[in-house]
Amino acid sequence: MADTTLMSIPGQIDPVPVARDITPREDGRVDLIGLPKERIRELFETAGLQPKQAKLRAKQVFHWLYHRGVTDFEAMTDIAKTMRPWLAERFVIGRPEVVEAQHSTDGTRKWLLKTADGHEFEMVFIPDADRGTLCVSSQVGCTLNCRFCHTGTMKLVRNLTPGEIVGQVMLARDALGEWPKGNMNFDYGADLDDAEDEGHYTSDGRLLTNIVMMGMGEPLYNFDNVKGALKLVMDGDGLALSKRRITLSTSGVVPAMERCGEEIGVNLAVSLHAVTKEIRDEIVPLNKKYGIEELLEACAAYPGASNARRITFEYVMLKDKNDTDEHARELVRLLKHYKLPAKVNLIPFNPWPGAAYDTSTPERVKRFSDIVFEGGISAPVRTPRGRDIDAACGQLKTAAEKKSRAQRDREAAEAAEAASA
């Protein structure tokens, strides 16, 4: 049983949970994953290292953590053997615990993960011919209650820490075997200041090329932790992924959108899903607080948005709800009225048990797409991925409590047997 109580849901007041930058651990050691270099230096100095030595060790450890992906201090070969036990006694290199891993017939992979304090969340990897996209969660559960989204039926438990967010990226790179294999170049005999300039390298040919903050939760309701995690992902000495390859999706937390553009600088995606107040109020309840006009004004003001970096508007296609020709024309009108550099992703609704909606027919989706294209706005239809393992857009919801460990083990054995057949 997880030992963290559910966060209270304050209605029309934005959730302001207690901030924590370090993933809590029962053994008292500090998990270094999710921490920037300067924070690691502070911890080393507090633990007893002299300032100059703490600065060097922090740089060395940072490289091993984020550029090499090691999970054991003994693997840090440029750190003296006598120093490694000292680190292991006080610190740990964490990863989210994998409760269950699933593979879709289309190549999509989904992981059910668990935090150190016992809460479960999911991440998804979607491989394509020219890219590989990791869908990352920012919260355990969600507070937005979007009616078409299975995740929205969960209660919000807590925000994920920076370590739990960036840990998803690192776990995916573990699974894909994508850490560099080169050697670090620190010289023990060199002056500490000189040594700080050594050890830079890059990794090419990655399978994981893009990250989307589109998993469980509303990223802008966990702004500081998401920012901290993505800064590590974008750090040239860290995971070194360009901000142009990272997209943050929001349901429309207007007050945080400008700050997102200025302080994080990643691509923006907006869960629009409707073009009238009545329909969006129903399917995206946040619209009652931040209406369509206010949302689109915030999009128009988003720092860095341009024709080269268009804002993506996500639009789930719900049969007889938001999929008419009139809705398509109004979508074009709105985007042009606010002069938005936009593209629209049309998403066929991904069914889940108990859902109140049906999927629009392929013919209706195509007609909707054609109208938007004719209006001069790109509107591709997203091909559903991972439906057979509930990994498609809007389907993420941890259901592990419904499965016993024996059942999970049995399913894993059956999957392994099928793969080897």
Active-site residue set: 122, 393
Characterise 232 by phi-psi region: left (phi > 0), alpha (psi -120 to 50), beta (else). Answer: alpha
| Residues 228, 232: Cα–Cα separation, whole Å | 7
267 contacts 312 by C-beta, under 8 angstroms: yes
List phi, psi (to 5°) of 31. Answer: -80, 120
46 contacts 57 by C-beta, under 8 angstroms: no
264 contacts 233 by C-beta, under 8 angstroms: no
Which DSSP state fits 34?
A: T
List phi, psi (to 5°) of 313. Answer: -105, 120
Alpha helix stretches (DSSP H) within 242-361: 254-263, 277-283, 292-300, 325-337
- Residue 299: CB atoms within 10 A of its CB come to 23
Taking Cα atoms as reference points, which of 322, 307, 328 lies closest to residue 273? 322
71 contacts 87 by C-beta, under 8 angstroms: no
| Residues 127, 241: Cα–Cα separation, whole Å | 17
| Residues 24, 304: Cα–Cα separation, whole Å | 36
363: Cβ contacts below 8 Å, ≥ 6 apart: none
Residue type, 297: E
The tokens describing 143, both together, are 């507070």
Which DSSP state fits 318?
A: B
391 contacts 101 by C-beta, under 8 angstroms: no
Residue 315, Cβ density class (10 Å: 0-12 exposed, 13-18 middle, ≥19 buried): buried
